[in-house]
Chains A and B, each alone.
Chain A
Amino acid sequence: GENVEQHPSTLSVQEGDSAVIKCTYSDSASNYFPWYKQELGKRPQLIIDIRSNVGEKKDQRIAVTLNKTAKHFSLHITETQPEDSAVYFCAASIGFQKLVFGTGTRLLVSP
């Protein structure tokens, strides 16, 4: 089955810096890669996703890149703000519905 590895497990940055979180997946048939943000004690919420026919997608300060050959994808957050502090999960799926999540990255943005 699919296996998703995520790193780093923790990431501390200063406000205004950029943050990059990387994930690798094992199954080359995976075609959908969402990213979820989970604040402490709250539900995971989708922040951006990308499909395998696209190499990059951007939404304001957030972007995701996908390298199908290497089977890895990354989340980029620019101009980080304290409210970006949360745990971020990547996921991969074959057919959009069976998500396999990574282990999460705890992002801390210091003022």
Chain B
Amino acid sequence: EAGVVQSPRYKIIEKKQPVAFWCNPISGHNTLYWYRQNLGQGPELLIRYENEEAVDDSQLPKDRFSAERLKGVDSTLKIQPAELGDSAVYLCASSDNDRTYEQYFGPGTRLTVT
């Protein structure tokens, strides 16, 4: 099966600019996650979707971050405006909780804010 797809793979922007990341989960996976991974750290959950509903967004900085998962498939994570501290790798993952709880990660988007 095809894995989790993310784009772009790399993005360099100036601070205060907006940026968006896109994720296409594994077909049939009802749960989608967005993580942020800072250099030398483990991934940190930003938001979790069950189908099209955001069931856990407690760690999403809502003043500048937003996310959506229209039709319960693809998802977009947006930052507006970006700050220097937002430089990180943004990982998308998906899981099929009817069969297993394993989370399958995408390759990530490396964001650099200058």
Residues of A that sit less than 8 Å from B by CB: 4, 6, 32, 34, 42-46, 49, 89, 91, 96-104
Contacts and interface: CB of A to CB of B under 8 A. Distances in A.
B97 interface: yes
Contacts of B40: 103-104
B86 to A, nearest CB: 19
A99 B34 CA distance: 12
Contacts of A99: 43, 45, 103
Chain A facing B: main interface SS: strand
A97 B102 contact: no
Given A43-B91, A43-B106, A43-B107, A96 B41 contact: no
Given A97-B48, A97-B97, A44 B105 contact: yes
25 contacts: A4-B42, A6-B42, A32-B101, A34-B103, A42-B107, A43-B105, A43-B106, A44-B91, A45-B105, A46-B102, A46-B103, A49-B101, A89-B42, A91-B42, A97-B95, A97-B101, A98-B48, A98-B56, A99-B45, A100-B45, A101-B44, A102-B42, A103-B40, A103-B41, A104-B42
Nearest to B55: A97
